[in-house]
Chains A and B, each alone.
Chain A
Amino acid sequence: MDFIVGGTANGKKEWAMRHYQEKPILLWHSFFKADISECVLPTGQNGVLVIEAFDEAVKKHLDQPEKLQQWYKTIRNWENEYQDRKLAIIGADINKGIVPIEKKDRQLRDEVGLWYQQFMKEAGQVYEVWYGLAVKWKG
């Protein structure tokens, strides 16, 4: 698994598109556009499943985090079924700045932070994208 993180509109998507251009993209699922239920996992054995805007997924499932946790297990299992499959998760770093006024926003910030700690542990490679430039944190 790869984890790609960086600030809002820092060019994470464009960087990922360049980074994976040599491999077939089996599915690019963006939580800006669709939720879990609309994500049909591909059957291909060689290629990348890109999950864009994971922070948006956390936002969508803030009241039912178990559903997202279960789905995360599903996509990890999908990746592990074949050696040449790769899961790439892209998420915005929203964990700095002042404490949000709204309780929901504070909850979101905390949840996203915990997810990213988990990704940092479990990912083989972690990249931070800063305005289109990537720094490798792990791998």
Chain B
Amino acid sequence: MLIFIEGGAKSGKTSFAEHFIQQRQGGRKVYLAAADPQDAEMSRRINSHQCKRQNAREQWVTIEQPYDLMRCIEQVQAGDHVLLDCLTTWLSNEMFSSGSWHVQMGPALMLEALSNLQKKTATLLVVSSDISHQSAGHPDMIQFLKVQGRLSSQIVKRADLAGMVNYGCLRSMKGEWQ
């Protein structure tokens, strides 16, 4: 099952996604973290998320993979329920940190990695940040918005469930959420 959730900063999207994954029956609960602690602020954010996950009903298995998600496919097991947090950070790492971003192939490779993860797992829930409703002046930003928009459209097209989270509440856009 593929699920896509989008929300703004501190919208509660990750908490919602964590709760959703924790409710799934059986299988490991896997937190696939794309965030890379490049500075003190990001380290604090990561630490805050880690502390929250420690109080979970079922223990999380954390995999840290900032880019090239195919590298972690061996760490994922059949029947896992995976929360990928988040698409925006992953794309940012691929485009600006990996050193191997290819304009044509980059998005296709990301979709292929998602497809392989989805095939191997019971649930793959992709969390994403809502960044597409703003004006952009810098060419890198315009390019980033375009790639993220197209990637998100492709993921929503393939997803069984899709929705937005605002203020901790879900607005369903696709599928029957329980």
Contacts and interface: CB of A to CB of B under 8 A. Distances in A.
A10 interface: yes
Contacts of A93: 133
B145 interface: yes
B135 A94 contact: yes
Contacts of B155: 131
B153 A108 contact: no
A37 B155 CA distance: 38
Nearest to B132: A7
B44 interface: no
Interface string A109-139: 1000000000000000000001111010000
Among B131, B134, B136, B147, which residue has the most Cβ atoms of chain A within 10 A? Answer: B134
Contact of B137 (A11, A105, A135): A105
A93 B150 CA distance: 16
A66 to B, nearest CB: 22
Contacts of B136: 8, 94
A38 interface: no
B83 interface: no
Nearest to B133: A96
Interface string A95-107: 1111010100100
B145 A8 contact: yes
A14 to B, nearest CB: 8
A9 to B, nearest CB: 3
Nearest to A97: B134
Contacts of A8: 132-133, 136, 142, 145-146, 149
Interface in A53-104: 93-98, 100, 102
Nearest to A9: B149
Contacts of A97: 131, 133-135
Interface string A5-18: 00111110010000
Given A10-B132, A94-B134, A97-B133, A131 B146 contact: no
B145 A9 contact: yes
A19 to B, nearest CB: 15
A115 B54 CA distance: 49
A131 B162 contact: yes
A7 B144 CA distance: 13
Nearest to B136: A8
Given A94-B136, A97-B135, A131-B149, 6 more contacts: A11-B153, A94-B134, A97-B131, A102-B137, A131-B4, A133-B173
22 contacts: A7-B130, A7-B149, A8-B146, A8-B149, A9-B147, A9-B149, A10-B149, A11-B153, A94-B133, A95-B134, A96-B130, A97-B134, A98-B134, A105-B137, A108-B135, A130-B164, A130-B173, A131-B149, A131-B152, A132-B153, A133-B162, A133-B174
